[in-house]
Amino acid sequence: MADILLEMKKITKEFPGVKALKDVNLQVKEGEIHALCGENGAGKSTLMKVLSGVYPYGSYTGDILFQGQECQFKDIKQSESLGIVIIHQELALIPELTIGENIFLGNEQSKKGVIDWSQTVIQTKDLLKKVGLEESPDILIKHIGVGKQQLVEIAKALAKEVKLLILDEPTAALNESDSENLLNLLLELKRQGITSIIISHKLNEISKVADSITILRDGQTIETLEPGKDEITEDRIIKGMVGRNLSNRYPQRDSKIGETIFDIINWNVYHPLQQDRKIIDNVSLHIKKGEVVGIAGLMGAGRTELAMSIFGQSYGQKITGKIKKDGKEVEIKNVSQAIKQGVAYVTEDRKTYGLILIDDIKANITLPNLQQISQRSIINEQEEIITAENYRTKLNIKSSSILQKTENLSGGNQQKVVLSKWMLAQPDILMLDEPTRGIDVGAKYEIYSIINELAQDGKGILVISSELPEILGICDRIYVMSEGKITGELNREEATQETIMEYMTNIRGEKHADLEQAYTK
């Protein structure tokens, strides 16, 4: 039997008005990959922050034993000195520094107080080789993709002689290929004797790599499952997470699709800094009343750039093309005009662009719609409270009150606050960019139900998602993008994962071009 590397006993952690953890117990064996599952707000990230010293000893109750020794970490540096390294969902890299500088930041290679850059480069190359990256140590972080940045974070952990690697939603922002590479790396690190704890909502990934699975619900330990001993299925994990069976992950909807409400015609967008680089190439699409339209594509296909450029030209330069609403051409040159024309955009990065984290739920919901709760430019505070409370109830936002800071909400509840503020604006067109990223299956179902309600009300919904099952599960029609172009358009009935992947990689487009060329000969 493997030795116990980590034991957490009766961990309890409270925030103002919220008990985030209640007598949580966790055992992790040496050399295993241990998965931590639970709904948003279940306490997974909080537990790992207690373990790593982000929440210092004294701010919680309970005991932490690492390699048999009791630990009372006052900060993250103390936990790292024992080889416990956490990689947060929001990566802690500095874009303007090189890969090498980031890897050894705070852990500089020096001689007599002077940084040894030669040694830094040599060790960086060695670490990058271990994680499968071929980039030069001198490349700036901002010039590599999110998948590669995640590998740099792991290399940074290896530089600290990691014994226990904690990864919080490591694949949330990655495409399928990058996710696969990261999971394979975790398996390789396991072979090298490194123990890992992985927090993830992607149950197929958990099933692939985990040796043990601990499920948390409402801040409490529900059970720990082990392959071989327990029957482990996605349905079993989901039941543990949400406390009930979730037989259908996508709520049923009777589509009542009307006339075309929104048209994008011959839309072209150039990179904001590189004037000759075209990001969106002659894209045309349309959305009908009551229709949920999906956009699928690999990372870098131009999906987010398309949505942001439509939403008041928030991205790009030299933008050309037409926008029609209800058959009439409209001008949307800025965000204010977009909102006035009934167009809303829910960003994929809710923490940076979607919310003011230091403000409360009430202020975040009403901020873009102050005119609705104001008289003669003076906010009606009573009306603001009633409005925010209505949306808190309607969208089932789990919080102590509407005065709770949004930074203390789980990811799923933060997403509901973002949806609330745009629902209050009563848009005709709602663009949702990765609306369920980093959200558990229970909260996803609630988000899908909200999307269905909006469609039933006659809104036009555009959903961008990297999860093909999600696109197939909720959309009436699907556009596929590759390299800034629309490469395919599919109805729900004809769409499959295989067909979408062919269009995403442009295989089908190339096949069509070859057939056309052969025919013309």
State the CATH number of the domain containing residue 154: 3.40.50.300
- Tell me the HSE value of 97 on the side-chain side, using a 13 A CA sphere: 12
Average pLDDT of the residues in 322-327: 95
pLDDT of the residue at 516: 39
Residue 247 belongs to some domain of the structure: no
Same domain assignment for residues 175 and 295: no
Q: Write the pLDDT tens digit of every residue in 373-404.
A: 888 888 888 888 998 898 888 888 888 889 98
Same domain assignment for residues 417 and 432: no
Residues 468 and 296: beta-carbon distance below 8 Å:
yes
CA distances from 102 to 80, 154, 201 (A): 16, 11, 28
Residue 23 belongs to some domain of the structure: yes
Neighbouring residues of 148: CB distance < 8 A, sequence distance ≥ 6: 133, 135
Residue 94 belongs to some domain of the structure: yes
Domain that holds residue 195: 4-242
> What is the distance between the alpha carbons of residues 8 and 50, in angstroms, rounded to a whole number?
10
Neighbouring residues of 69: CB distance < 8 A, sequence distance ≥ 6: none
Same domain assignment for residues 374 and 509: no
Same domain assignment for residues 338 and 361: no
CA distances from 448 to 167, 375, 429 (A): 27, 35, 16
Percent composition of the chain: helix, strand, coil (DSSP 3-state, to 5) = 35, 30, 35
Same domain assignment for residues 24 and 171: yes
Residue 32 reports pLDDT greater than 70: yes
Residue 248 belongs to some domain of the structure: no
Neighbouring residues of 61: CB distance < 8 A, sequence distance ≥ 6: 10, 11, 12, 13
Residue 108 belongs to some domain of the structure: yes
Q: Write the pLDDT tens digit of every residue in 237-282.
A: 878 887 765 557 788 888 889 999 999 999 999 998 888 889 999 9
Residue 249 belongs to some domain of the structure: no
pLDDT of the residue at 228: 75
Residues 475 and 492: beta-carbon distance below 8 Å:
yes
pLDDT above 90 covers a percentage of the chain that reads 41
Same domain assignment for residues 57 and 146: yes
* Listed residues 426, 451, 475: the one ending a domain: 426
pLDDT of the residue at 507: 56
Specify the DSSP element, H or E, that contains 390. helix 381-394
User: Which has the higher per-residue pLDDT, 286 or 374?
Assistant: 286
User: Which has the higher per-residue pLDDT, 412 or 399?
Assistant: 399
When the pLDDT of each residue in the chain is averaged and rounded to a whole number, the result is 86
Same domain assignment for residues 144 and 24: yes
> What is the distance between the alpha carbons of residues 6 and 195, in angstroms, rounded to a whole number?
10
> What is the distance between the alpha carbons of residues 465 and 453, in angstroms, rounded to a whole number?
19
Same domain assignment for residues 375 and 440: no
pLDDT of the residue at 187: 92
- The total domain count for the chain is 3
Of 37-41, 206-210, 302-306, the poorest mean pLDDT is in: 37-41
> What is the distance between the alpha carbons of residues 24 and 3, in angstroms, rounded to a whole number?
20
Residue 19 belongs to some domain of the structure: yes
Residue 512 reports pLDDT greater than 70: no
Average pLDDT of the residues in 74-86: 92
Same domain assignment for residues 229 and 277: no
Same domain assignment for residues 204 and 261: no
Map residue 154 onto helix, strand or coil.
Answer: helix
Same domain assignment for residues 27 and 101: yes
pLDDT of the residue at 333: 93
Phi, psi (deg, nearest 5) at residue 112: 55, 40
Q: Write the pLDDT tens digit of every residue in 164-178.
A: 999 988 887 676 777
Q: 243: left (phi > 0), else alpha (psi -120 to 50), else beta? A: left
Instruction: Kindly list the strands in the beta sheet with 485-491, ordered across the sheet, starting from the edge strand earlier in the chain.
Output: 343-346, 429-433, 460-464, 292-296, 477-482, 485-491
* Listed residues 242, 275, 310: the one ending a domain: 242
Residue 131 belongs to some domain of the structure: yes
**In degrees, to the nearest 5, what angle opens at C-alpha 301 toward C-alphas 268 and 492?**
100
* Listed residues 242, 272, 299: the one ending a domain: 242
Same domain assignment for residues 63 and 176: yes
- Tell me the HSE value of 209 on the side-chain side, using a 13 A CA sphere: 28
When pLDDT is cut at 50, 70 and 90, the band that residue 140 belongs to is: very high
